[in-house]
Structure 1
């Protein structure tokens, strides 16, 4: 007999009566597995197995069984899944509960057990497998004996004296397997979690002070038991009535599975012009139209609140793309977790010109927290006073600053401005002279080494005028948390002064995205920006988990009062729900309670000009292909960047043109082509690289050591008016392109016609025989794209995959074998020269 399993995932429940459901199974004669996982991401599955003499019949039976299950789950929202639940951890232990036939009143015991395990963080798979059994004097066909025999299950029922109970209550009987499979990565964790699970199991199903028998398996035997039960077999089973089984078979509301609630929020009429936030939802979750946001109201600011994992970041990414592409606005995004690179490919424009990425690890730039943008005497006095207070506010945000220290710091900064533009090192010297050793010691780290290069300078190298006309992502995820906040705080102080250097009527429209806003909410400049930034056409998007993360009541009141648009995802804290209710103009008790049970991607929105709040479901975000670090390094930020050909000497122009005409050249190669000394070539190279005209990259090139090759920057192409060589973007960057060209050179020398990037990385053809070559540099995060590429290359007679080393080769060969892809050969960079040996 063949078997086939179909599985559905439970998404939401409004109510679930296990007795009615189980009797429905008896009426239809099908069994099912209830599978609950209580790890960090909990979920609930129901599966059913169909059997037949062929896989086709088994599949049809499984599909029929699935439809029956779905019809019995009319109060449950579910979705079909392709993958069956599996155990992925290295170690496993199993507890089989020998379910007691004694009478047990249904009191949501299973729900209670799952909730306790989930709260305790015990990662385990709980399986309740149920199969209705024949009772009384039913007979079944015995092909072996050629006669009808009494059902063995019936005999077991009579032996357990359950038959009378069935007659008494007109109940049904089930064969039941109840297993708890605990997973861990170490023996210590496994033993600890198994002990916790056993204690919870014992206390939950304790009947009249007596717990039924429990059998434990470990290791491979436990995993084998899991696979057997999931495939449809029973193990250590018992036979009990549906009434007693109801205490074991329940759909628990744990983790992301929440009670299904319908709540009445108005569905207002919205405009048609603007950017889409998502879909407006009716009380029954029907889509009523698009939720349109007017980008003109962005300068009256937006507050976005939502717990982690509720869809807040997804909405932010979509909003950034829409504001940049469709509203023509430019933004600054502080990326504290290096997650916004994936939006770059969705943004219109050219990297380095319309889109900028700034990463302190990859690029050199500097900001002076004490630098002023105005030099006019009267204006400067005002600016000094404001900058002093803003900087003290920054210090209080980062360090503990007493009143005496604060007054001395204030006096010290004022004295320093009398002699020009001070630096942090100048301030440290003043504090040391006043014996404020504690604070000066803390500030000292900003004057030396890596941090000193960024913060301890006379003038900032960041081109603020350029940042105002590009969409800029500050990637700060590789910095320590405290340093990220310090940098953002410094930048906000400088940016606010920069924006006010001109009259409001001359201001350039711009948007600042402040993710994890609560980190900066204590800055005095934030209060100023919330109140006054609108005049200077600066919009703020303030995003964080909940309003009460802002500890200052004054700032929180200012945030609520000065944000015309509010978007609220799920909120679970009572204090947050109270603040949200007030901010939205007053929610009913039911509406406020609903804030705790909203789905991922579901939000309550209050727009400017719309009287009432309404519900939306935001759209998903599909991440684009992120650019690599080499491309980020190419973005030149400082003012020494070459902007015209007049800034170049004749020798420099010749050097750049030689690099353009001879791709993949080293400095020594260019020097040789120009017939100049290597010493002079390196001098020209260093000057051009420093001024942002040249890029040097280290790439592997078959056998031997890597080499450093040169290429022109985007700016150099523009200045010299040279056509850019078209190269497709790849995860591997220059290394990918270099290896593809090397392979093409080898094949062309043997008479093959080669095309690069024509349906594959390299396409080679000779006498009607076609080879598709894919280069795998190993720089992509996953190998998922490889399978797609190989399936796409099925038109070729053979496919060759080239990868860096033997480890990659073994991994790729396993992937190819697992996906049953034929006519594919895998070689390493070191064996590229022997590629001809693979060709028949």
Structure 2
């Protein structure tokens, strides 16, 4: 391997004899100028010593074939993945996410082109695609999550202000408009309303102010986009939120923005900033960590952090900049992916210490990436000649750049189903009313038994619906629940079992409360713990941990499979939800013991 000083190559010129045609040619492009044959292994950058980058996340190989591995702790200093479309950026990010998944690191991906669906399937991630019947997303932007109502309103006002500055040619929000918006937002946030409630609240605002009618009309005009568009109304005008906002860093999540971004980039940017805000506040509640526990990938970073906004807005608007500035020691890694780095906010890129540059073109893009890599702009010709999968890398705490070839990820294509109108109606009904009985659902849809059976059978064969028989109590027929595998999994059965058990125990005079994070599902009289299992995944260590705090611990299995699995693990403390008589006796015995 020959290492050459690229500034000398670019300015003075280096020539070799082509091994194919025998003529003298410059090596600046890596190909013979006469016969277009590759010139062989002339490398601008030397490989790091063998003792470096030998352990960790396997991301690619050096020119010699040696593996390039990156230590997990390095990712806390954030990552920028830059280069032209089609030269390996997404392939690299997928490789990174698969490696992180194997090590138990959670991730959130904002996918603008629908390229991460297979990854979501293989990693069991929650997959959302706003505007899709199968994977639709509802997001109540007025839900403060872990934040206070007042602080959430402050942040929302800054987001709206930034959005309107762009959309309405600097007309923005007047002081009076901002006052009315803030008052209405605060009321709706406290009442857990949604954006359609906010529009009605603005329309009904009755405080006497000069030109109040014009102010209300201007605000309603700006907010009406969320109410009138079908996709936006489905996403934003719901009191429910499908994303686990309070525990957003405990799940693997992929949000496919391809449908909503085709309508309006502003609305897609708005959705991303809303979700990032919750990730940001959750990360701030962590203690100082030496390695990342959660990774956020922002594809098309130039759409979320456009450079043109950075000089005329509040820093609060750009939640991703807060990531880069404040979350380095909080176990959060931010991955910014862009095909046009010159249009990404400079402050965000400067705070990414790990830079992976694929082929780039254009003088401004080359200037930006050379600055991030610490290279002279004379390297631009080399950067614009990189092949597919090749990247020039600069890693935190290592002073020199080097070149790698990304290890490809092989993914199979997932089948795409065309849904009939009846199938779409059925899925929407199941998602909206998950605990409705078959008879009630049939009556609600107005279908005959045969029509209902054929639609159900078709969806089951496509793998879009899974039936679970759930028996409550010792008598009566079991209840049929429809599980949407991509959305609820076993959570629907678990939720139904916890609700039924709580109601059942309260009807017998027991004082019950639902457990919070790190607690059992039900706590009876603050002395007895009841853990409900739908899949049999409970561990003995978990039961022992609850036993240290509560006098007795019981496990209730919601299905026959879970009952068999739990019984084999735990023995006598396991009960079936179809026969709760013995559980009640044991709870009474435990409460009488002291």
Q: TM-score range by the shorter chain?
A: 0.5 to 0.7
Q: 1:698 aligns with which of 449, 452, 458?
A: 458
Show the counterpart of 2:227: 447
What are the within-5 Å matches in structure 2 for residues 119-158 of structure 1?
A: none
| Pairwise CA distance, 1:536 | 3.6
SS of the residue corresponding to residue 608 of structure 1 reads: coil
Show the counterpart of 1:822: none
- CA separation of 1:419 and 1:276: change in aligned 2, threshold 3 A: same
Show the counterpart of 1:268: 48
Q: 1:517 aligns with which of 301, 307, 327?
A: 301
1:200-248 CA distance string (max 9 Å, x none): xxxxxxxxxxxxxxxxxxxxxxxxxxxxxxxxxxxxxxxxxxxxxxxxx
Equivalent residues of 1:374, 1:380 under 8 A apart: no
- CA separation of 1:412 and 1:435: change in aligned 2, threshold 3 A: closer
What are the within-5 Å matches in structure 2 for residues 207-226 of structure 1?
A: none
Q: Distance in 1 between matches of 2:340 and 2:41?
A: 22
Asked if 1:533 is matched to 2:303, the reply is no
Q: 2:340 aligns with which of 528, 546, 559?
A: 546
- CA separation of 1:606 and 1:75: change in aligned 2, threshold 3 A: farther
Show the counterpart of 2:111: 335
- CA separation of 1:595 and 1:620: change in aligned 2, threshold 3 A: same
Compare CA radii of gyration and give the structure with the larger one: 1
Asked if 1:298 is matched to 2:75, the reply is yes
1:741-772 CA distance string (max 9 Å, x none): xxxxxxxxxxxxxxxxxxxxxxxxxxxxxxxx
1:375-409 CA distance string (max 9 Å, x none): 7xxx5433432332133224445x13525635444
Equivalent residues of 1:301, 1:564 under 8 A apart: yes
Equivalent residues of 1:300, 1:563 under 8 A apart: yes
Equivalent residues of 1:566, 1:606 under 8 A apart: yes
User: Could you say what the CA RMSD is over the residues aligned between the two structures, in angstroms?
Assistant: 4.4
Q: Distance in 2 between matches of 1:521 and 1:258?
A: 39
Show the counterpart of 2:187: 419
Q: 2:359 aligns with which of 570, 579, 587?
A: 570
SS of the residue corresponding to residue 473 of structure 1 reads: strand
What are the within-5 Å matches in structure 2 for residues 39-54 of structure 1?
A: none
SS of the residue corresponding to residue 253 of structure 2 reads: strand
SS of the residue corresponding to residue 446 of structure 1 reads: helix
Q: Distance in 1 between matches of 2:264 and 2:285?
A: 33
| Pairwise CA distance, 1:336 | 1.5
What are the within-5 Å matches in structure 2 for residues 84-99 of structure 1?
A: none
Show the counterpart of 1:478: 259
Asked if 1:367 is matched to 2:139, the reply is yes
Q: Distance in 1 between matches of 2:427 and 2:109?
A: 17
| Pairwise CA distance, 1:464 | 2.2
| Pairwise CA distance, 1:593 | 2.4
1:405-433 CA distance string (max 9 Å, x none): 35444222211144242643455463893
SS of the residue corresponding to residue 368 of structure 2 reads: helix
Q: 1:388 aligns with which of 134, 138, 157?
A: 157
Show the counterpart of 2:89: 312
Q: Distance in 1 between matches of 2:266 and 2:459?
A: 35
What are the within-5 Å matches in structure 2 for residues 655-804 of structure 1?
A: 679=439, 682=442, 696=456, 698=458, 711-712=467-468, 713=483, 714-715=489-490, 716=493, 718=535, 720-723=558-561
Show the counterpart of 2:4: none
Q: Distance in 2 between matches of 1:292 and 1:514?
A: 22
Q: 1:612 aligns with which of 379, 397, 400?
A: 400
Q: Distance in 2 between matches of 1:533 and 1:297?
A: 14
- CA separation of 1:263 and 1:75: change in aligned 2, threshold 3 A: farther
Show the counterpart of 2:59: 277
Q: Distance in 1 between matches of 2:53 and 2:16?
A: 41
Deviates more, 1:563-572 or 1:270-279: 270-279
Equivalent residues of 2:58, 2:69 under 8 A apart: yes
Structure 1: runs of 5+ lacking an equivalent: 1-13, 22-70, 77-249, 643-647, 656-666, 668-678, 687-694, 725-840
Taking CA–CA contacts closer than 8 Å with sequence separation of 6 or more, which of the two structures ends up with the larger relative contact order? 2
Q: Distance in 1 between matches of 2:380 and 2:177?
A: 46
- CA separation of 1:711 and 1:545: change in aligned 2, threshold 3 A: same
Equivalent residues of 2:288, 2:329 under 8 A apart: no
SS of the residue corresponding to residue 616 of structure 1 reads: strand
1:494-526 CA distance string (max 9 Å, x none): 442454256231999211111111000045222
- CA separation of 1:684 and 1:417: change in aligned 2, threshold 3 A: closer
| Pairwise CA distance, 1:438 | 6.4
Task: Please give the TM-score of this superposition, normalised by the length of structure 2.
Answer: 0.60
Show the counterpart of 1:765: none
Bigger proportion of residues as strand: 1
- CA separation of 1:383 and 1:441: change in aligned 2, threshold 3 A: closer
- CA separation of 1:480 and 1:681: change in aligned 2, threshold 3 A: closer
- CA separation of 1:459 and 1:401: change in aligned 2, threshold 3 A: farther
Q: Distance in 2 between matches of 1:464 and 1:396?
A: 28
1:267-292 CA distance string (max 9 Å, x none): 113233211221123xxxx33x2221
Equivalent residues of 2:112, 2:261 under 8 A apart: no
Q: 2:250 aligns with which of 469, 483, 486?
A: 469
Structure 2: runs of 5+ lacking an equivalent: 1-13, 25-32, 204-211, 307-316, 447-454, 469-482, 484-488, 494-533, 536-556, 563-594
Equivalent residues of 1:334, 1:515 under 8 A apart: yes
- CA separation of 1:409 and 1:615: change in aligned 2, threshold 3 A: farther
